[in-house]
Chains A and B, each alone.
Chain A
Amino acid sequence: MSSIVSIENLSKRYDSGFEALKSVNLEIQEGEILALLGPNGAGKTTLISIICGLVNPSSGAVRVGGFDVVKDFREARSLIGLVPQEIALEPFQTVYDALRFTRGLFGKRHDAGLLKSILEKLSLWDKKDAKTMELSGGMKRRVLIAKALCHEPRVLFLDEPTAGVDVELRKEMWEVVRQLKEDGVTIILTTHYIDEAEAIADRVGVIRNGELLLVEKKEALMQRMGQRQMRIELIKPLDAIPEALARYNLDYSAEDRTLTYSYEANGERTGIASLFADLSKAGIVLRDVETRQSSLEDIFVGLVEDKS
């Protein structure tokens, strides 16, 4: 795979003096889905805005499809579709006119068949003659997505596309995203719902304080950073964790009578065998044992806390 977006030493200092991006480097592969995670104010929107031409970079360069986003803005932008974080639509325009307008801005002729298929894909066809102000929030967001698609971009940026969208629709939207990926569209999305990134992304990038902390394949990330947890259910309740077990850093929940043990899944020694031995020495009888892989969310929280 070759990279379709390449970001080199990109920095952004806003007029207020605030440094929103600090020398970010990132290669985005053609055809992948990249999820950008990060707390509020991390710089996700700033990064996307620079790539799409909304914000000027302070230094560094971005190329899309080999075209510099500043110097060759026409070629670069023709390849890009953006769904912004904030809903911004002309209230009196109909959905259909809004799409026609956008397609025209990108220098393309009207294509009734294409617009119909996009609107149908996003379950908006029956709303095509409605004014955008007559739509619900979730519908407006879908109109933004439709607008971003109507010039057939090769790279699609989705800045928190599922904010304010109900669960049902969110699933439909991810279905659309998967379809687009199948059509060869590269997708970059930001989201606060880590489970979404986990479900849909090929790679995950984590941004914090304007720095790209890491970008990795989702599975690799989870494996590398992943901790496993073992929940041990006991027959009898404990008054306290015995002294002999202190070195395992166990958590005890009296409510459901379980001990929780965290360990590195791919460490040399997991310590499970000795834990079991020590448990039986202490006369603790087990009822059930369950292990689980930590989710991206656990990893993410760990990462963000780590660096602060």
Chain B
Amino acid sequence: MNFQAVKSIYSFEMARFFRTLSQSLISPVLSTSLYFIVFGAAIGSRIEEIDGVSYGAFIVPGLIMLSVLTQSISNASFGIYFPKFLGSIYELHTAPVSYLEIVLGYVGAAATKSALIGLVILATAEFFIDYEILHPLAMLAFLALTCISFSLFGFIIGIWSKNFEQLQMVPLLVITPLVFLGGSFYSISMLPPFWQTVTMFNPVVYLISGFRWAFFGTSDINIGLSLAMIAVFMVICLGIIGWTFKTGYKIKT
């Protein structure tokens, strides 16, 4: 195992993040602050409590997830797509590094970045809304799992994308609707039965529900099921990455 290489990739990717720290943080923090003001303070005060949690607090986990998912995907996909686009990816192919080390470096860095952003948003929420975290460790674990699995997903997008349009298309066309319809702003039980069933096919529902459980101890879905679904998603992503590298699909000629 070439740990030096993993460290090299990881710290180089993190350096890019810190080089553009303000850009990396301002946009997610600003947009979630706006959500907190509009939904939490303005509209939220007119909405009833859900499962004994004020609406403002109820949306905190969902909003963090919204940012964390999009950030994980965009960080990881950009991280591997950019060298591909520049051609500097030749270095990865000619260095004595295995695919596992490449994935560890890039996905590790992307996951770290989005986890940091998630925590910053969490701290920002403190300014607008009162909330308590019932299971802080579980919350961190959920955050980490989500960051890792969606960074893996982003990595796949980055490798498969042929151009910048494709790179942006997936997060825009797939993730945003999944997150908005994944119960960020409402409880699944508020939906009509038919749509409750449809929602069960949305993987993001399990993430948000599990994350919310870590905050408030209540959730739409059994916490074990939530964990299992993340695990399944992660295994699928790992499988796709493994297959991609093994066959050289979209990587080597």
Contacts and interface: CB of A to CB of B under 8 A. Distances in A.
Contacts of A276: none
Contacts of A14: 253
Interface in B97-151: 97-98
A89 B86 contact: yes
A91 B12 CA distance: 13
B123 to A, nearest CB: 28
B248 to A, nearest CB: 6
Contacts of A54: 90, 93-94, 252
B97 A90 contact: no
B83 A107 contact: no
B8 interface: yes
A82 B91 CA distance: 9
Nearest to A109: B4
Interface stretch (A73-81, A191-199, A296-304): A73-81
B163 interface: no
B9 interface: yes
A108 interface: yes
A235 B32 CA distance: 93
A55 B92 contact: no
B87 A86 contact: yes
Nearest to A80: B94
Contacts of B9: 104-105
Contacts of B96: 73-75, 77-78, 105-107
Nearest to A82: B94
Contacts of B2: 74, 107
Given A89-B88, A109-B4, A101 B93 contact: no
A44 B92 CA distance: 21
Interface residues of A, number: 34
A138 interface: no
Interface string B1-40: 0111101110010011001000000000000000000000
A52 interface: yes
Contact of B88 (A15, A73, A88, A109): A88
Contact of B253 (A15, A82, A86, A102): A15
B93 A104 contact: no
Nearest to B11: A104
B86 A55 contact: no
Contacts of B252: 54-56
B210 to A, nearest CB: 37
Nearest to A73: B96
Given A55-B253, A92-B19, A101-B12, A106 B5 contact: yes
A109 B5 CA distance: 10
A56 B88 contact: no
B95 interface: yes
Nearest to A108: B4
A203 B27 CA distance: 59
Contacts of A75: 96
A93 B92 CA distance: 16
A86 B19 CA distance: 27
A52 B86 contact: no
Contacts of B5: 104-107
Given A74-B96, A78-B96, A106-B96, A84 B90 contact: yes
B16, B91, B253 interface centre (most CB from chain A within 10 Å): B91
Interface in B58-92: 82-83, 86-92
**Which of B8, B90, B95 has the most chain A CB within a 10 Å cutoff?**
B95
Nearest to A14: B253
Nearest to B105: A105
Contacts of B88: 88-90
Contacts of B93: 52-54
A14 B83 CA distance: 22
B86 A88 contact: yes
A262 to B, nearest CB: 44
B87 A105 contact: no
Given A74-B2, A89-B86, A105 B92 contact: yes
A107 to B, nearest CB: 4
Given A14-B253, A56-B248, A88 B90 contact: yes
29 contacts: A14-B253, A52-B93, A53-B94, A54-B94, A54-B252, A55-B253, A56-B248, A56-B253, A73-B96, A77-B96, A80-B94, A88-B86, A89-B88, A90-B83, A90-B88, A92-B16, A101-B12, A101-B91, A102-B91, A103-B8, A104-B5, A104-B7, A104-B8, A104-B9, A105-B5, A105-B92, A105-B97, A106-B95, A107-B96
Interface of B: 2-5, 7-9, 12, 15-16, 19, 82-83, 86-98, 248, 252-253
Given A56-B248, A82-B90, A107-B2, 16 more contacts: A53-B93, A54-B93, A55-B252, A55-B253, A77-B94, A88-B87, A88-B89, A88-B90, A97-B12, A104-B8, A105-B95, A105-B97, A106-B5, A106-B95, A107-B4, A107-B96
